[in-house]
């Protein structure tokens, strides 16, 4: 398909064009939920409620997002079910060992999930607490663990198939079209930044460059959604990665173009003129890579250049998340054992799942508080449906009308700008508390007990975020800075060896994007910190470019020193060599020397240089 966008005729039953974005999403979510319930009731599935919960969780604005989350939810559920069977099979009569194994497994999955992105992280954590749902839920009946696993997997598959079917009929592949449009917009912005750098009107704004790079790098998330919507997903992912990498290369080169061109055109600055020409040539090269990637994505073909987007892994942060989760679950296990509460199992599972999932959020306490706020209207809605509307009627049609009404409203709220943070919690708690089955019991005391358990689980989760290794933006930012400084120090000493500049670029922007998040609300002081971080990463790229040029010439780059670098660049210029490696070395030397002179006090303050 060579068009820029996917043709709308792909949709079997298009919705009216005057509908807003929220109404179609709410309609699709409602129909998928009712379809999942209808199928579960029809085949008399014991865990029909789980199918509804699956739809509430998987429901996403675009088919690509929904299918991506569905894939990882299915994978996490199946693997977690197998692990649960193995744990219960190994310790069928030993509750302590089952709880210990569950806690350790959840911690391991939380660690892995903290290192992943997008719905991969969700799938990893889901794999952990699925063991709790099955193994801990069957702790008093180990013989039923295999049947419990089959029922849960069946419920998840019913929910996934329901969402997929409704999306196929009622929705177009919007993620792919949106990705193409966003990549084209970012490419145009990078070209404009390049034109401004060449004109030498003003120094490129570091904050603007960071924001442009972070916005471009965020499109890899959209790429994961888009690649599951249409065929040739792997090719499309490679094309998107090439386009993103090329745009990041263009953004990176802008500062180098301006830095080389600001010295004028005197004979003493002949080296800088060469540097500017080399940087412009590099900008054009990266622009070609970006355009080829964009065209390859549009034409569903492999890009000319296969590139990998690196990302920053906060190993210590992941370890802290895992440790917090294991401590919280261990304390909850002790509470449940001594409390003797009939709903202790549900309390433990809910608290474990939320602690592991929300611990990866920028501010887990606020995310947990929103879940608590969402529980109140969801409980009221579930109570109205279960004890006011349903007892007055029988059959699936009255059930669908009652449940569908609140599902539609809550899904609509999920797409509202101000209410969207509460939408997922509303849908989740509605399906959790409603918990329909073929034979409704209408037990008010059991319902109130379940609501109380959910409130207690949220309270435990919030206490865990406040008291057990609390998440701190400052500590997260300091860990990002430590990794930046470590790599910069190693590069300044010439210890990295030949490294792809593309790999450094993507890693630097990933770190800068995370630093931007951890800095929080922009203030002059915080923007100054972000600007400093940008210049340090810019210095690392320049040093690596010089080092790669020297390695290609069969030489060794000495430790970083601005005076020595300037002399080396003049020596290379006097040699008369103008091959690509020499020009790269000259460009890197001059840019690194200028950056070291401009930021000498900061480099000395952080112990990166002496004197």
- 65 vs 126: CA distance, rounded Å: 17
Tell whether the model's pLDDT for residue 327 goes beyond 60. Answer: yes
* Confidence (pLDDT) at 529: 92
Give the residue among 360, 351, 350 at the shortest CA–CA distance from 331: 351
Q: Are 54 and 151 in contact (CB under 8 A)?
A: no
pLDDT digits (tens, 9 = 90+) for 510-526: 999 999 989 888 899 99
Other beta carbons less than 10 A from residue 89's beta carbon: 12
pLDDT digits (tens, 9 = 90+) for 348-377: 989 999 999 998 888 899 999 999 999 999
* Confidence (pLDDT) at 7: 44
Half-sphere exposure of residue 422, counting CA atoms within 13 Å on the CB side? 15
Q: pTM for the complete prediction?
A: 0.89
Distances (CA, A) of 258 to 39, 111, 192: 63, 42, 13
Q: Please give the radius of gyration of the chain, using alpha carbons only, rounded to the nearest integer.
A: 28
* Confidence (pLDDT) at 496: 61
- 240 vs 293: CA distance, rounded Å: 6
* Confidence (pLDDT) at 340: 75
**Poorest-pLDDT segment among 23-27, 201-205, 261-265:** 261-265
* Confidence (pLDDT) at 605: 87
% the chain with pLDDT above 90: 49
Mean pLDDT of the chain: 87
Tell whether the model's pLDDT for residue 188 goes beyond 90. Answer: yes
* Confidence (pLDDT) at 9: 40
pLDDT digits (tens, 9 = 90+) for 12-67: 455 444 346 788 899 999 999 999 999 999 998 888 889 999 999 998 888 888 88
Q: Among 54-68, 129-143, 286-300, 495-509, name the most confident range.
A: 286-300
**Beta carbons within 8 Å of 464's beta carbon, 6+ residues apart:** 324, 327, 328, 351, 355
Q: Name the token pair of 38.
A: 């209808």
- 239 vs 298: CA distance, rounded Å: 9
Reported as a pLDDT band with limits 50, 70 and 90, residue 10 is very low
Tell whether the model's pLDDT for residue 264 goes beyond 60. Answer: no
pLDDT digits (tens, 9 = 90+) for 551-589: 888 888 888 888 888 888 888 888 878 888 898 898 899
Average pLDDT rounded to a whole number, residues 466-474: 89
The better pLDDT of the pair 291, 394 is held by 291
Reported as a pLDDT band with limits 50, 70 and 90, residue 324 is very high
> Which of the 8 DSSP states describes residue 557?
P
The better pLDDT of the pair 498, 40 is held by 40
């Amino acid at each position: 398909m060579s068009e820029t966008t996917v043709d709308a005729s792909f949709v079997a039953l298009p919705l009216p064009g005057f509908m807003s974005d929220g109404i179609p999403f709410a309609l699709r979510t409602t129909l998928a939920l009712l379809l999942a319930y209808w199928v579960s009731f029809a085949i008399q599935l014991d865990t029909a409620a789980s199918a509804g919960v699956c739809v509430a969780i998987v429901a996403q604005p675009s088919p690509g997002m929904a299918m991506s989350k569905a894939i990882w939810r299915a994978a996490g559920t199946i693997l977690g079910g197998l692990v649960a069977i193995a744990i219960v099979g190994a310790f069928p009569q030993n509750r302590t060992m089952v709880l210990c194994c569950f806690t350790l497994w959840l911690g391991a999955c939380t660690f892995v999930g903290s290192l992943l992105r997008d719905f991969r992280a969700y799938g990893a954590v889901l794999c952990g607490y699925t063991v709790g749902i099955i193994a801990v839920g069957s702790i008093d009946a180990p013989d039923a663990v295999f049947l419990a696993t089959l029922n849960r997997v069946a419920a998840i598959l019913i929910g996934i198939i329901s969402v997929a079917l409704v999306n196929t009929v009622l929705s177009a592949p919007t993620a792919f079209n949106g990705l193409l449009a966003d990549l084209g917009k970012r490419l145009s912005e990078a070209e404009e930044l390049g034109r401004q750098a060449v004109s030498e009107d003003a120094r490129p704004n570091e904050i603007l460059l960071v924001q442009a790079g972070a916005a471009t790098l965020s499109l890899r998330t959209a790429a994961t959604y888009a690649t599951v919507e249409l065929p040739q997903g792997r090719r499309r992912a490679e094309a998107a990665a090439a386009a993103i990498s090329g745009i990041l290369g263009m953004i990176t080169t802008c500062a180098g173009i301006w830095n080389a061109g600001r010295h004028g055109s005197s004979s003493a600055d002949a080296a800088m003129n060469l540097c500017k020409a080399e940087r412009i040539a590099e900008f054009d090269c990266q622009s070609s890579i970006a355009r080829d990637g964009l065209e390859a994505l549009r034409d569903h073909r492999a890009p000319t250049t296969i590139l990998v987007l690196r990302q920053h892994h906060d190993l210590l942060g992941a370890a802290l998340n895992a440790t917090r989760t294991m401590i919280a679950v261990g304390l909850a296990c002790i509470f449940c054992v001594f409390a003797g509460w009939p709903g202790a199992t549900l309390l433990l599972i809910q608290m474990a799942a939320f602690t592991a999932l929300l611990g990866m959020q920028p501010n887990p306490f606020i995310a947990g508080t929103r879940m608590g706020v969402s529980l109140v209207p969801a409980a009221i809605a579930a109570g109205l449906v279960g004890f006011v509307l349903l007892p007055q009627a029988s059959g699936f049609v009255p059930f669908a009308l009652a449940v569908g009404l609140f599902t539609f409203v809550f899904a609509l709220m999920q797409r509202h700008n101000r209410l969207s943070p509460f939408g997922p919690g509303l849908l989740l708690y509605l399906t959790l508390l409603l918990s329909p089955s073929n034979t409704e019991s209408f037990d008010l005391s059991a319902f109130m007990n379940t609501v109380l358990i959910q409130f207690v689980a949220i309270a435990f989760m919030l206490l865990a975020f406040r008291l057990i290794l609390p998440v701190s933006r400052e500590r997260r930012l300091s860990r990002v800075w430590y990794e930046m400084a470590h790599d910069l120090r190693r590069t300044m000493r010439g210890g990295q060896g030949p490294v792809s500049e593309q790999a450094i670029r993507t890693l630097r922007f990933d770190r800068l994007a995370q630093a931007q998040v951890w800095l929080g609300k922009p203030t002059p002081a915080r923007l100054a910190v972000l600007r400093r971080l940008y210049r340090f990463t810019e210095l690392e790229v320049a040093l690596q470019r010089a080092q790669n040029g020297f390695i290609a010439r069969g030489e060794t780059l000495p430790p970083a020193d601005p005076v020595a670098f300037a002399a080396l660049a003049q020596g290379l210029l006097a040699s008369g060599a103008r091959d690509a490696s020499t020009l790269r070395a000259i460009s890197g030397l001059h840019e690194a020397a200028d950056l070291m002179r401009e930021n000498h006090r900061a480099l000395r303050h952080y112990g990166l240089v002496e004197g």
